[in-house]
Structure 1
Amino acid sequence: MKYFVVDAFSRQKYRGNPAAVCLQEGDMSDVEMQLLAAEFNLSETTYLQFLADGHYRLRWFTPLTEVNLCGHATLAAAHVLWNQCGISATQLRFASRSGELSARLHDDGIALEFPLVETAPLADSLPVRGLANSVVAAFSAGEDLLIELADSAAVQNFVPDLAAIAALPARGLIVTASAAVGDHSDVDFVSRFFAPAAGIDEDPVTGSAHCALAHYWSQKLGCNALRGRQISARSGEVEVAISGDRVTLSGQAVTVMEGKIF
């Protein structure tokens, strides 16, 4: 079985978020998929299976568990189909645990059509130490929780209490702030994402989190087309555009590795 490692949401290799894309040749058990994902030990390993009529199936695994939605690994899979597999179609359709997803080529990269995740205020503050004086707002965000901090510097300097975050009743924690001033004023918002319970202490660039970030910041800023930067150590940028109950996530990707799984 062939595989590729792709750095997603980046124009440069060794930036953005790396994902392993496995071209699934036949049936694999869930146990095999999980063991291989642990072997890669990246935030996501995706299994890409060719179906009939130009459709593909995607499944995504962290080193510890299967997840319902993953943006950067979907971007990586589309990039592989167009750049390593020579697929000529300009739009791809994927069957997934979150329904049908699609990817299309555009002038400056790849656009993913994903479900919009609505955010809602939390009645109680999050039980995470060290946040009491810096939280502007706390929201539910689908499978995740979202907190807004005072500014981009607070997000950059945030030191996660991984044990407390792992104990939250959520897949992970999104930490975000407006980027109107400071070092990131060329984008609309910044974020970081932590999911230690899923085996990802900090995810470099999280497409699925931007399904909620798009909703949150569109409500606050009154704009349906925004640009976000995830300010992890590797960093990456995601453009978002809302249309009804869908959100388009746009970005670039670079293939850095390929090989064969025995």
Structure 2
Amino acid sequence: MEIPVFTVDAFTNVPFKGNPAAVCPITHELTDDLYQKIAAEINLSETVFITKIQTSDSFSTASRFRLRWFTPTTEVNLCGHATLASAAVLFQHKKNVNPVLVFETRSGDLAVAQLKDEYVMDFPLNPPVQQDPNEFSDVIKAAVGNNTVHSVHLSTTTKKLMVRLTDSCDRSVLTHLKVDAVALQNSERSGRVKGVIVTIKGSPESQPGYDFYSRYFAPWNGIPEDPVTGSAHTVLGSYWSKELGKKKLLAYQCSSRGGGLKLEVRDDGRINISGQTVTVLRGALTL
């Protein structure tokens, strides 16, 4: 059996930037064990499997598909960059004729529309709740060291802990953070936290006008650092929209690869996350 594989860099228009995802369009479901083995073999932060809902469907004509996302170690409930990459494969390489695609996922139906050279994802919004930093002191220490913390928020839905550094910390502080993934994972074993977002206020007055910056670490899911994380921005978008008093935001994730996201927080409790993609590899996995 051969399984098509596309490697797509998401949230970038430049190869080898953004966040790479492996996209596998398959005609029928595989076993959970095989999904996980494939994801471990490919060893990117996410491998996503697109399956047709009806056997008579075509990847070119159907408007609804199923999506499942796997890290090298586990299946996850929500992944932005791999969803973006999936839409790109269907629109660009499968020549899908529909203006909007809907993916059935663990997080419900997720719609993605093509808008010129971008894709716009309709995602759930995950507002975080402010926490007492002392309750997460070990995690905070492992993530940001001795840098001064402004506030700490937790999204219980996504199990993402958001640590905002004070405004005296500029982008270089965030960029130069050295996070020991093993120490971070060992700092939290209760199961309340599966990922840590570190964020700072941006500099919208300077071009291109980023409203905030972030980095994301998820060693609990086998991802020491994720380059550009759509799901984290369902938390960040909610927080910074309220903090800055604006619905439309421009964000940048400061990993070594780096990537930009356009966000629009909607009044219906959801968020539009937009970005570009570049396909860097096409091939087949032989089983």
Q: TM range, normalised to the smaller chain?
A: over 0.9
Give the superposed CA RMSD: 1.7
The alpha carbon displacement at 1:73 in A equals: 0.1
1:238, 1:249 within 8 Å by CA — same for their partners in 2? Answer: yes
For residue 146 of structure 1, the aligned residue among 147, 155, 162 is 162
Q: What is the TM-score normalised by the length of structure 2? A: 0.87
1:166, 1:172 within 8 Å by CA — same for their partners in 2? Answer: no
Partner SS, residue 72 of structure 2: coil
2:160, 2:194 within 8 Å by CA — same for their partners in 1? Answer: yes
1:123 aligns to 2:142 (yes or no) = no
Unaligned runs of 5+ in 2: 55-61
Partner SS, residue 117 of structure 1: coil
Unaligned runs of 5+ in 1: none
Opposite residue 97 of structure 1, the aligned amino acid is: R
Q: Which moved more, 1:142-151 or 1:60-69?
A: 142-151
1:218 aligns to 2:218 (yes or no) = no
Supply the distance in 2 between the matched residues of 1:134 and 1:174 (Cα, whole angstroms).
15
1:134 aligns to 2:157 (yes or no) = no
Structure 2 counterpart of 1:156: 175
Supply the distance in 2 between the matched residues of 1:149 and 1:171 (Cα, whole angstroms).
20
Structure 2 counterpart of 1:250: 274
Relative to structure 1, the CA distance from residue 181 to residue 77 in structure 2 (aligned partners, 3 Å threshold; closer, same or farther) is closer
For residue 36 of structure 1, the aligned residue among 35, 38, 41 is 38
Supply the distance in 2 between the matched residues of 1:37 and 1:47 (Cα, whole angstroms).
10
The alpha carbon displacement at 1:84 in A equals: 0.5
Q: Which 4+ runs in 1 deviate beyond 3 A?
A: 130-133, 181-185
1:25-174 maps to which residues of 2 (within 5 A)? 25-52=27-54, 54-125=63-134, 126=136, 127-128=138-139, 129=141, 131-141=145-155, 142-150=158-166, 151=169, 152-167=171-186, 168=188, 169-174=192-197
2:103, 2:109 within 8 Å by CA — same for their partners in 1? Answer: yes
Supply the distance in 1 between the matched residues of 2:110 and 2:150 (Cα, whole angstroms).
33
Matched residues, number: 262
Supply the distance in 2 between the matched residues of 1:113 and 1:32 (Cα, whole angstroms).
29
Supply the distance in 2 between the matched residues of 1:135 and 1:47 (Cα, whole angstroms).
39
Opposite residue 165 of structure 2, the aligned amino acid is: L
The alpha carbon displacement at 1:260 in A equals: 1.2
1:4, 1:257 within 8 Å by CA — same for their partners in 2? Answer: yes
The alpha carbon displacement at 1:133 in A equals: 4.3
Opposite residue 258 of structure 2, the aligned amino acid is: S
Supply the distance in 2 between the matched residues of 1:104 and 1:208 (Cα, whole angstroms).
17
1:205, 1:235 within 8 Å by CA — same for their partners in 2? Answer: yes
Cα offsets for 1:145-200 (capped at 9, x unmatched): 00001232321122213234214331110000011289887211000000011111
1:165, 1:173 within 8 Å by CA — same for their partners in 2? Answer: no
Quote the sequence identity (%): 39
The alpha carbon displacement at 1:255 in A equals: 0.7
Partner SS, residue 148 of structure 1: strand
Cα offsets for 1:105-126 (capped at 9, x unmatched): 1134000000001011112332
Relative to structure 1, the CA distance from residue 84 to residue 90 in structure 2 (aligned partners, 3 Å threshold; closer, same or farther) is same
Supply the distance in 1 between the matched residues of 2:204 and 2:68 (Cα, whole angstroms).
39
Supply the distance in 2 between the matched residues of 1:107 and 1:23 (Cα, whole angstroms).
23
Q: What is the TM-score normalised by the length of structure 1? A: 0.95
1:47, 1:60 within 8 Å by CA — same for their partners in 2? Answer: yes
1:221-240 maps to which residues of 2 (within 5 A)? 221-240=244-263
